[in-house]
Structure formats: structure tokens, C-alpha cells
Amino acid sequence: MTTTVTTPPLAAPAGARMFLKLLARIRRGHLELITPDGARMVFGNAHDTEGAALHVHDWRACQRILAAGDIGFAEAYAAGWADTPDLTALMRLALRNEAALDQMLFGGALARCWYRLRHWLRPNSRKGSARNIHAHYDIGNDFYQLWLDSTWTYSSAIFAGDYSQALESAQLRKYQRIIDTLQLRAGHRVLEIGCGWGGFAVHAAQQGIQVHGVTISPSQLEVAHQRIAALKLGDLAQLELRDYRDLDGQYDAVVSIEMFEAVGERYWAGYFETVAARLAPGGRALVQSITIGEEFFPRYRSSADFIQQYIFPGGMLPSVERFERHAARAGLQPQERYAFGPDYAETLRRWDADCRAKRPAIDAQGYDQRFMRIWHMYLAYCEAAFDEGRTDVVQFLLKKA
């Protein structure tokens, strides 16, 4: 039986008492917290329908969060020191109260410097990119196959307001929108930078479009080759293990779907120069990228978050403004942009639900409890960011001058 209390338990260590004191600043929504000794505390407006719950099993969770922000929470959550029945709701509540919960989100100055240094030491040079991509995409095709749809697509779908449709249909809608926007027809030659498991290449080749796709993930390429061979599309879709910086030749169009996030800010200029060089005069490129609001970019850039530390080492999101500015400098004029952030939130919800449904099969593959809790936090963390408009996903149409 829990009891509602308004002051920190006397048994709580100093770090935990400071943590609870900061929670008292919550103004939007409410948080119900259960302490290790079973006490119940409610912070914020208890009558607000928007709320979340947090069960602290070990007081060490509080100190870890204060020290390292979202990274600290991820570590505490992975260790089982803290839990919640709805991780996405907890993330949304934190974002809505960001100013009040600053240290809980970003951690202390020492930790911020340390994690930023670690991020800086994971550059996306040719060797660094292969290492960073391997850390995420080569963890196991069998794992991804369990919860991705039949198109093997690991990027946002486009639901266009119809959330009753199957994820596979929404992914194919996304691919077709790219083809229609670029006005691609049979016989056109397209370069795909970051071809993944071959989703776009298969869809385009089935319409007679010639696709040259490159990836630096051996695991992804293995599946992509199998799919191309099974559908007898080898004459139209040629996929290879190659860094985009080592390409030559020119194409009618360039497609790049959520690969830009892995480029790294110090390599943005080179990326756009490569895209421009690979396009024939007047050619167009469509780049789909996750973006972060410009107002949040300076702080994001000066630190390193949970995603960069545990999910996508070397990753960096652009703001819309910075993306288009760098593209223009390389002679790629922005033509239009299509944003569909809410669809990414829905895509992530589907992935998370499928991961949960396939948990016995994932366990059988040898993935432990810590891995699954980190993975669940990754999906919920991103879902909350799209729900709250902190991040967006945009298809940028660029034309070579």
C-alpha cells in the first residue's frame, strides 16, 4: 500500500533528495513517482490528464540521472534501477518540462564534456564510418527481420493521414513518393547513397528504373543481394559495398534515405559536393533526413545525447536551415521539402509493438535484458521527440544548378 507524500523521504540519500526537489518544478502534466521504500509522490498538476509514472527501485538511479541526463537515465533504466509502465509518456513529460528539468535531461557539466569528447572521437572518416555503421546495422539480420515489415525498411513510412493501413503499404507509399517527386521513369539511372537492405532499389527496379546502390554494411548488402536475386532484378539493381565518397560517374538522380544522419557535421560539405558531382547537369536529388529544430540545434551540437552514445555513434542531425544552407553551397538548390514527423512517431510505435510481440524469438537469438531495455528506450525516446515536434523527418528535393 503506497502513501502520498509531499516531501522527500528522510532515508533518501542527498542526490536523491535533490532529484526529488527538481521534480517539484514540473508544471506541465504530472508525474507519479514510487520510491524504493514504497512511498508515492505526485509532482505537477495531478488533475492534468497528461501524465507519466516512474518507479525508482534503487536510489542510485537519481544520482546517475543528475550526473548524465538522458544517458544516465538510459543506464539506470537498463540496469533495472528505474522503471515505468509507459516510457514514451515519461519522455514526453520530460520534454514538455525541459526548462524545469534541465539537469535531468542534459546532466552535469563534467559528464557533458566527457560524452561530447567520446562523440568527437568517433568521426565518420572512411574507417570511422565503417566502424560506426557496424555498431548498429550489423548486429544481426535475423534480429531486424523479426520486427521490420516485409520491405525490410528501416526509415519512416508515409501514412498520409491513414493510420489504419499496414506498415508495408505506408513504406511503399514513401518509395513511390520519391519516384514521383523525382519524375523517374523506366531507363533512368539513379544512385542510391545508403541502400540498406534494398527496399528502394527493389521498388524502383520493378518499374524499370536502373539503381546503383551503395552501403558500407556487409550484413545489409547480403540481404539486399538475396532479395535482388530472388526477384531477378540483377540487370536493373546493382548494389555494392562502397563508401559514397569513392564513387564516380553521373546519374539522372540521387536518392538518399535517412543516411545523412550518419554523415557527421564535419563531413556535410563533402557529402553535398559528392551528390552534386554525381548528378548530371540539371539532375535532382531527394534526400530524406531526420531533422532537429534550429532553436534546439546549438545545445544539441555542444553536447552528446543517448542516441549518439548508445545507438548511432558518430550520428548528427541537421536543422532544416543548416541542411539547405550546406546544400546550396555545393550548388544544390533546394526546390521543395515535405515534412511528415507524425508519421515517424507512428512508424516507431509499430516497430516497438512488433519488438515486444517478438520478444521470445529475440531472447532466443541471445539478446539479453539490458540490450532489450536500451532498444525499447531508443524507440520510445525517438517516438516522443517526433510526437512533441522536437524532431521531424523531411524529404528535401534538391536540383543541381
Per-residue pLDDT of 283-295, as tens digits, reads 999 999 999 999 9
Q: What is the CATH number of the domain that holds 182?
A: 3.40.50.150
Q: What integer best gives the mean pLDDT of the chain?
A: 91
Which residues neighbour 195 within 8 Å (Cβ) at sequence distance 6 or greater?
201, 211, 213, 214, 215, 220, 221, 224, 239
pLDDT at 2 over 50: no
248 lies in the same domain as 321: yes
**pLDDT score for 306:** 85
In a domain, 95, yes or no: yes
In a domain, 78, yes or no: yes
Q: Which of 32, 2, 1, 36 is nearest to 16 (CA)?
A: 36
| Range in 48-52, 130-134, 392-396 the model is least confident about | 130-134
pLDDT tens for 119-133 read 565 656 666 555 555
Cell of 47: 488533475
295 lies in the same domain as 340: yes
219 lies in the same domain as 74: no
Mean pLDDT over 172-197 rounds to: 98
Tell me how far apart the alpha carbons of residues 242 and 218 are, in angstroms, rounded to a whole number. 10
26 near 50, Cβ under 8 Å?
A: no
In a domain, 6, yes or no: no
355 lies in the same domain as 247: yes
64 lies in the same domain as 152: no
pLDDT band at 1 (very low <50, low <70, confident <90, very high): very low
Higher pLDDT, 209 or 312: 209
**pLDDT score for 104:** 79
pLDDT band at 194 (very low <50, low <70, confident <90, very high): very high
**pLDDT score for 15:** 85
239 lies in the same domain as 367: yes
In a domain, 45, yes or no: yes
Q: What share of the chain is helix, strand, coil (3-state, %, to 5)?
A: 50, 20, 35
**Which residue among 107, 139, 161 closes a domain?**
107
Which structural domain, as residue segments, surrounds residue 64?
14-107
pLDDT at 134 over 90: no
**pLDDT score for 187:** 97
288 lies in the same domain as 390: yes
**Which residue among 59, 76, 107 closes a domain?**
107
200 near 178, Cβ under 8 Å?
A: yes
pLDDT at 89 over 70: yes
**pLDDT score for 47:** 83
324 lies in the same domain as 256: yes
What's the whole-model pTM score? 0.91
pLDDT tens for 152-180 read 999 999 999 999 999 999 999 999 999 99
**pLDDT score for 110:** 65
215 lies in the same domain as 357: yes
Separation of CA 338 from chain center: 18
Q: Which of 295, 268, 301, 252 is nearest to 400 (CA)?
A: 252
pLDDT at 222 over 80: yes
Tell me how far apart the alpha carbons of residues 177 and 161 are, in angstroms, rounded to a whole number. 15
pLDDT at 58 over 80: yes
Sequence letter at residue 268: W
In a domain, 217, yes or no: yes
**pLDDT score for 4:** 42
pLDDT tens for 368-377 read 999 999 999 9
pLDDT at 108 over 90: no
Mean pLDDT over 42-55 rounds to: 91
Tell me how far apart the alpha carbons of residues 325 and 322 are, in angstroms, rounded to a whole number. 5
**Which residue among 74, 107, 140 closes a domain?**
107
Q: How many domains does the chain have?
A: 2
| Range in 66-75, 107-116, 344-353 the model is least confident about | 107-116
Of the candidates 62, 113, 355, 382, the residue annotated as catalytic is 382
65 lies in the same domain as 186: no
In a domain, 112, yes or no: no
Active site residue 382: yes
178 lies in the same domain as 315: yes
150 lies in the same domain as 44: no
In a domain, 9, yes or no: no
In a domain, 133, yes or no: yes
